[in-house]
C-alpha cells in the first residue's frame, strides 16, 4: 500500500520580538495549508521570535512570553487540522536552545534542538544558545522525519546521524541571510547531504528584512538523487503544498512543482535592497523616507530603490545646491524626481555656508581654505535633512556607497546622516550596473514606474561631490573599477598588499587604498545600518579596531 504525506512549506516574513504578529502569520499559513490539504506545515528557523533575536532572547520575560504564546498556539492544533513544525527559542532546565517544536493534536508533542551553532560573520549563536545533542528523527503519521536547523545542514554530522537512526525525509528549517552568489552554495551543501544519505531534502527559509540582514526565501525540495523538484520564488511570502508518496522501494518522492526562471545576479541584489529598505521602514513604523537628491548616481539609485520599495507617495526628495552645484546637476535631479513621480524641494545652502564663514571667521583667520569648508557644506545639508526629518517624521536615507565608505569619502554628520542606507554594501562599479539594469528591467512587486527611472546623463557623467570648482572623484581616487577590485581583495578576500600587487595593481596605489581603508574605520563605526549584500559587509561581518598600528604594507 502506498503511503502519502502532504507537507506545506511556509516561507514567511517574521518581525523580531513581535510574537503576536509572528504567531498570527503562522495561524494564517496553517489555515491556507489546511484548505490545500496539508497534514504538516513547516516554517523557518526561530520564526516565533524572529531571526536573529540577538540579546533580546536573553530576557527572561521574552522567553516566558514566547513559551506562553506557542503553548496557546499548540492548543489550536487540536482542531483536526495540520500539525506544525515551528522554530522557537526554548528553555530547558534553565538553558536556552534554538529549537524546533512539533505542534500536533492540541499540544507540543516533540522537541528537537539545533546541534551546530554558527559563530562567524553575522552569526554569534554561541553567545545566546546552548548546542543540543545530535537529534533523533521525529515520527509523524508513520513517517520518520529528520529535522535539521540551518547550520546543521552545512556539515554531514547531523544528516548522517539522522540517516543511521532511520530518517526517511530530511527537513531543514532555515534563517539563512542573503548574500550575493550564496544560493549556489546552499544548493551545493543540500546536494551533498542528499548524496551522502540518499534521502530527499526539504529546505524552508525565511523571507524578509531584519535590520542589516535580508532573507530571500528561495525554499526548495531535492529528491533522493539530488534533483530539484520544487523551487519556491524568492523575495515573497508563500505557502506551497508539496505532495509525497513512498515508492515500492520505500524511497519518498515529491510530486514536482513547476518553478519560475532563476533570477539574475543584479536582480537578486536589487530585490535585496528593495526588501531590506521596505521592511526596515515599515517594521519601524516610519511614514516614509527623505533623500538628498544631488543629481548624482548614488542618490538617484537610492531614490529609485526607495520608490520601488515604498511607492512614490512615501519618498520625499530635497535638492540642496551650493555655489558649486552645476546646472546639469539641478536639471538631472529634477528629471530623476519627475521620472519617479516624487516630491522634490529645493533648499539652497548658501545662507548656511555664509553663516558658518561668519561664525568661524575669527578662529579660522589666516588659514587657507581646505576640506574643512567642503565638510561644512556636507554638514549643512545633513542638518537640513535632519531638521525636515524631525519635523515631518520621514527617515533620512543615506546615499553613500561601499567604495566611499571604504576609503572615508564621506562626511561624519554630513552626507553620512541617516537612519538607513541601501548602498552601504554596494561598490560604486555595481551602482552603475544596477542603474543600467533598473532602467532596462522591471519586476513584479516593485512599486515604482516601469521603464527608465534614472536619467542617462546621471549614469554617464563623471562622478563629483561638487564641493569645489571642477571637482571629480578621480582627482584623488583611482578609477572605480580599479579601486573596487583592490577593495574587494582587501575586504572580502583579506589579501595582503603583496598578493594584490601580484595581480597587476600598482604597489603605491594599493598601499594608499589600504591606508585609506584603515583610517576610515572610525567613520564606519558611526554609519547607519544598511543592507548586507556581500560576504563581508561593514558591521558585524568585519570587526576591525579603530586604534590600529598595523600598516599592512608587508
Same domain, 42 and 65: yes
Indicate whether 495 belongs to any domain: no
Same domain, 304 and 424: yes
Count of positions (residues) in the chain: 554
Task: Please state, in angstroms and rounded to a whole number, the distance separating the CA atoms of residues 95 and 130.
Answer: 7
**Boundary of a domain, candidates 421, 456, 471:** 471
Same domain, 246 and 358: no
Nearest to 212 by CA among 51, 445, 417, 13: 51
pLDDT (tens, 9 = 90+) of the chain, 554 residues, equals 459 999 999 999 999 999 999 999 999 999 999 999 999 999 999 999 999 999 999 999 999 999 999 999 999 999 999 999 999 999 999 999 999 999 999 999 999 999 999 988 888 899 999 999 999 999 999 999 999 999 999 999 999 999 999 999 999 999 999 999 888 999 999 999 999 999 999 999 999 999 999 999 999 999 999 999 999 999 999 999 999 999 877 899 999 998 878 899 999 999 999 999 999 999 999 999 999 999 999 999 999 999 999 999 999 999 999 999 999 999 999 999 999 999 999 999 999 999 999 999 999 999 999 889 889 999 999 999 999 999 999 999 999 999 999 999 999 998 899 999 999 999 999 999 999 999 999 998 999 999 999 999 999 987 766 565 665 666 568 899 999 999 999 999 999 999 999 999 999 999 999 999 999 999 999 999 999 999 999 988 888 888 888 876 55
Q: What is the pLDDT of residue 259?
A: 83
Same domain, 210 and 290: no
What CA–CA distances, in Å, run from 303 to 248, 267, 398, 478? Answer: 57, 17, 10, 27
**Boundary of a domain, candidates 451, 471, 491:** 471
Nearest to 398 by CA among 538, 345, 411, 274: 411
Same domain, 111 and 37: yes
Helix (H, G, I), strand (E, B) or coil at 436: helix
Indicate whether 346 belongs to any domain: yes
Contact 126, 97 (CB under 8 A): no
Indicate whether 367 belongs to any domain: yes
- Residue at grid coordinates 546622516: 417
The parent domain of residue 275 ranges over 266-471
Q: How far is CA 501 from the centre of its chain?
A: 32
- pLDDT, one tens digit per residue, over 484-522 is 999 999 999 999 999 999 999 999 999 999 999 999 999
Say which CATH number the domain at 203 has.
3.60.110.10
Indicate whether 347 belongs to any domain: yes
Same domain, 245 and 374: no
Cβ neighbors of 343 (< 8 A, separation 6 or more) are 315, 316, 317, 337
- Residue at grid coordinates 546623463: 457
Annotated catalytic residues are 45, 114, 150
Same domain, 150 and 110: yes
Indicate whether 479 belongs to any domain: no
Indicate whether 376 belongs to any domain: yes
Indicate whether 538 belongs to any domain: no
Task: Please state, in angstroms and rounded to a whole number, the distance separating the CA atoms of residues 422 and 128.
Answer: 29
Indicate whether 441 belongs to any domain: yes
**Boundary of a domain, candidates 206, 227, 254:** 254
- Return the sign of the alpha-carbon dihedral for residues 191, 193, 196, 198: negative
Same domain, 70 and 167: yes
> Would you call 180 exposed, middle or buried from its count of C-beta atoms within 10 A (0-12, 13-18, 19+)?
middle
Task: Please state, in angstroms and rounded to a whole number, the distance separating the CA atoms of residues 354 and 360.
Answer: 10
Q: What is the pLDDT of residue 1?
A: 40
What nine digits make up the cell of 354?
555664509
Could you tell me which residues are beta bridge partners of residue 138?
A: 145
Same domain, 248 and 347: no
Same domain, 114 and 138: yes
Cβ neighbors of 321 (< 8 A, separation 6 or more) are 329, 330, 346, 348, 349
Count of structural domains, the chain:
2
Same domain, 335 and 435: yes
Say which CATH number the domain at 320 has.
3.40.50.620
Same domain, 250 and 270: no
Amino acid at each position: 500500500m502506498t503511503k502519502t504525506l502532504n507537507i506545506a512549506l511556509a516561507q514567511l516574513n517574521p518581525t523580531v520580538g513581535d510574537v503576536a504578529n509572528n504567531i498570527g502569520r503562522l495561524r494564517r499559513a496553517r489555515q491556507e495549508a489546511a484548505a490545500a490539504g496539508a497534514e504538516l506545515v513547516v516554517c523557518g528557523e526561530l520564526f516565533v521570535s524572529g531571526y536573529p533575536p540577538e540579546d533580546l532572547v536573553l530576557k527572561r520575560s521574552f522567553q516566558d512570553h514566547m513559551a506562553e504564546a506557542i503553548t496557546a498556539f499548540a492548543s489550536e492544533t487540536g482542531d483536526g487540522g495540520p500539525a506544525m513544525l515551528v522554530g522557537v527559542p526554548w528553555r530547558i532546565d534553565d538553558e536556552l536552545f534554538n529549537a524546533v517544536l512539533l505542534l500536533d493534536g492540541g499540544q507540543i508533542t516533540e522537541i528537537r534542538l539545533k546541534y551546530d551553532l554558527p559563530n562567524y560573520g553575522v552569526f554569534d549563536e554561541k553567545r545566546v544558545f546552548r548546542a543540543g545533542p545530535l537529534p533523533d528523527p521525529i515520527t509523524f503519521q508513520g513517517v520518520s522525519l529528520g529535522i535539521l536547523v540551518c547550520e546543521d545542514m552545512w556539515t554531514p554530522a547531523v544528516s548522517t546521524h539522522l540517516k543511521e537512526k532511520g530518517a526517511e525525509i530530511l527537513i531543514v528549517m532555515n534563517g539563512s541571510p542573503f548574500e550575493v552568489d550564496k544560493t549556489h552554495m546552499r544548493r551545493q551543501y543540500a546536494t551533498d547531504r542528499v548524496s551522502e544519505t540518499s534521502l530527499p531534502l526539504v529546505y524552508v527559509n525565511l523571507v524578509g528584512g531584519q535590520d542589516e540582514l535580508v532573507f530571500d526565501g528561495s525554499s526548495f525540495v531535492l529528491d533522493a538523487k539530488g534533483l530539484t523538484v520544487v523551487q519556491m520564488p524568492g523575495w515573497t511570502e508563500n505557502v506551497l503544498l508539496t505532495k509525497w508518496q513512498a515508492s515500492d522501494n520505500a524511497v519518498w518522492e515529491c510530486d514536482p512543482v513547476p518553478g519560475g526562471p532563476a533570477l539574475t545576479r543584479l536582480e537578486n541584489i536589487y530585490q535585496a535592497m528593495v526588501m531590506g529598505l521596505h521592511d526596515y521602514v515599515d517594521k519601524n513604523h516610519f511614514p516614509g523616507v527623505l533623500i538628498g537628491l544631488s543629481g548624482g548616481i548614488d542618490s538617484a539609485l537610492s531614490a529609485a530603490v526607495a520608490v520601488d520599495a515604498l511607492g512614490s507617495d512615501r519618498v520625499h526628495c530635497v535638492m540642496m545646491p551650493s555655489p558649486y552645484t552645476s546646472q546639469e546637476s539641478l536639471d538631472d535631479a529634477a528629471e530623476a524626481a519627475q521620472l519617479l513621480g516624487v516630491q522634490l524641494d529645493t533648499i539652497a545652502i548658501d545662507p548656511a555656508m555664509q553663516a558658518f564663514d561668519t561664525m568661524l571667521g575669527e578662529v579660522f583667520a589666516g588659514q587657507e581654505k581646505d576640506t574643512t569648508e567642503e565638510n561644512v557644506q556636507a554638514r549643512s545639508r545633513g542638518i537640513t535633512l535632519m531638521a525636515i526629518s524631525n519635523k515631518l517624521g520621514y527617515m533620512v536615507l543615506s546615499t553613500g556607497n561601499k567604495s566611499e565608505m571604504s576609503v572615508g569619502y564621506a562626511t561624519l554628520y554630513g552626507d553620512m546622516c541617516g537612519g538607513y542606507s541601501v548602498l552601504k554594501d554596494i561598490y560604486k562599479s555595481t551602482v552603475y550596473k544596477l542603474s543600467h539594469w533598473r532602467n532596462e528591467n522591471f519586476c513584479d512587486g516593485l512599486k515604482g514606474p516601469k521603464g527608465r527611472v534614472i536619467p542617462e546623463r546621471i549614469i554617464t557623467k563623471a562622478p563629483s561631490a561638487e564641493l569645489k570648482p571642477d571637482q571629480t572623484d578621480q582627482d584623488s581616487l583611482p578609477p572605480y573599477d580599479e579601486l573596487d577590485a583592490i577593495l574587494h581583495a582587501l575586504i572580502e578576500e583579506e589579501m595582503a598588499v603583496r598578493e594584490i600587487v601580484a595581480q597587476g595593481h600598482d604597489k603605491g596605489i594599493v598601499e594608499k587604498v589600504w591606508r585609506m581603508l584603515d583610517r576610515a574605520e572610525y567613520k564606519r563605526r558611526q554609519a547607519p545600518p544598511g543592507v548586507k549584500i556581500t560576504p563581508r559587509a561593514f558591521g558585524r561581518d568585519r570587526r576591525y579596531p579603530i586604534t590600529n598600528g598595523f600598516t599592512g604594507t608587508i
